[in-house]
Amino acid sequence: MIKIFLVLILLISTTFAFEDVYFLPKDSKKVQKDMEKHISNAKESIDIAMYNLSYRKLVDLLNNASKRGVKVKIYYYKKKADLDERIETVKVLDKLHTKLAIIDKKIVIFGSANWTDETFKDNYEVLYISDRDELVKQFNDFYKTIKRDR
C-alpha cells in the first residue's frame, strides 16, 4: 500500500512540473513576462551565473528581490549592472559562458541568452524554464562547481 502511495505521489508531482521553451526574438515578450514572474515570486534565493547581465527591468527586479530579503548571488565575468549592495557578486576565474538562473533552488532558467537589451530585441536565442526536480538538482549541483576569481 505504501509503495502505491509513493508511486502516486511521484506521478502527481511530475504531472504538475512545467517545462517551457522560448525562441527569441519571436517569444521575447512571453519569456520576459515569465522571467519577471519567477523573479518577483522568489521567496528565499536567486542564484545566477551569467557572462553579461544588464537588462534594466530584470536587474531592477533582482534589486527589489534583494530588498525583500531574498538572497541573490551572481557569478559573473563582466559586471555591467548597477546592483543593490545586498546582492552578493562573485567574479569567476575563467570566462563564463553559462547563462543560468535558479529561483528558490526549485526553478531553472537557462539557455543561450545573456540578459541584455539586445538579447530580447534582436538576437536569435533559446531560453528554457523548468521546475522538473531532477533537472533542477543537476543545475544546483553545477552552480556549486563554478570557481571564484583569485
Within-domain flag for 90: yes
Evaluate whether residue 13 is within a structural domain: no
61 belongs to a structural domain: yes
pTM of the full structure? 0.86
* Phi-psi label, residue 58: left if phi above 0, alpha if psi -120 to 50, beta otherwise: alpha
Distance between CA 129 and CA 133 in Å, rounded?
Answer: 12
* Average pLDDT value over all residues in the chain: 89
**In the chain, how many domains are there?**
1
Tens of pLDDT along 128-142? 999 999 999 999 999
Q: What is the pLDDT of residues 50-99, one digit of tens each?
A: 988 999 999 999 999 999 999 999 998 877 788 999 999 998 877 888 99
Q: Is residue 76 part of a domain?
A: yes
| Within-domain flag for 10 | no
Does 11 score more than 70 pLDDT?
A: no
